[in-house]
Amino acid sequence: MIDIHTHVIRLWGGRPGGRGMEVVTEKEILKAMDSRGAERFVVLPAGVSPEVPCFYTGPEDILKFYKKHPDRVIPFCDVDPRSGTNSPDSDFSWILGYYKDAGCKGLGEMTANLYFDDPRCLNLYRQAAKFGFPILFHLYDRLGGSYGLADDKGLPRLERAMKECPDTIFIGHAMTFWAEISADVPEEERAGYPDGKVKAPGRLQKLLAKYPNLYGDLSAGSGLNAITRDKEYGYKFLEEFQDKLMFGTDISSNKKIIPHVEYFKEVKEGKKISMKAYEKIMQKNAIRVLKLKG
């Protein structure tokens, strides 16, 4: 099993207006991954973009962790698209090359609150592709109020980016991405957890089917909600898009409930999807997309 989405938090500043949080240290995440059966796991930087106000872990912190456990930790880097000259012409090759040489396998979690197709973002996407870095992004429904790349209903900005950056692999995450699994998602629920039956496949399925450079990160409440709000459809979705989905948890707190492992255990034991699909989602797709050794 490979977990595509975890965090180790170095500095915790408290979530403004929110509840307390017991963050996960290096020792604790190793224990958590052991208990869940994850042989390897991606560790993502957090707080590189200023819209994330509550915790910070930089790429250098993750690279130190990676050096201690190179057989388990899969390091990602992150760069804010406004860095450098804050323009569509910023040259990121020097820093991306540095992270590539240090062992990073991708870029993310990208959390800058800019439109997905902002020219500064497109510039970063293209340059990341030159270094073989997939982009794992957090999607939000608007500018302002929180973190995450912003898109409109139907994900037109994501589609434009995939068209203009065909060599860039995009891995989607968070509520606004997964809400689009249903065609009838209300505008007011795009940043939440829509419930009920998936009466008709949404825009997400059309994009996953059409674009070879789009993948889905099943982590967090958003990913799990998408495949459990309508369990029977969820099994169908996992089977249909077995080549485009990756298991993840988004663990970042000792208090955070992570039922993903239990769900997939039930899926496997109940033979809800084929073993071929199960193995791709739980490990093989991550190996292929991140170019890992099997």
Domain-wise residue ranges, the chain: 2-290
pLDDT at 20: 52
Architecture (CATH level 2) of domain 2-290: Alpha-Beta Barrel (3.20)
Position 175, amino acid:
M
pLDDT at 225: 97
Q: Which tens digits make up the pLDDT trace of 50-109?
A: 998 777 889 999 999 999 999 999 999 999 999 999 999 999 999 999 999 999 999 999
pLDDT at 18: 46
User: How far is 153 from 59, CA to CA, in rounded Å?
Assistant: 32
User: How far is 31 from 49, CA to CA, in rounded Å?
Assistant: 28
pLDDT at 52: 85
pTM of the model: 0.96
Position 239, amino acid:
E
pLDDT at 14: 62
pLDDT at 54: 75
Q: Where are any strands of DSSP class E within 20-159?
A: 40-43, 55-56, 73-75, 107-110, 135-140, 149-150
User: How far is 109 from 6, CA to CA, in rounded Å?
Assistant: 10
pLDDT at 176: 98
pLDDT at 21: 60
Q: Is 2 helix (H, G, I), strand (E, B) or coil?
A: strand
Residues of the chain under the 70 pLDDT cut? 14-22, 254-257
pLDDT at 24: 84
User: How far is 233 from 28, CA to CA, in rounded Å?
Assistant: 35
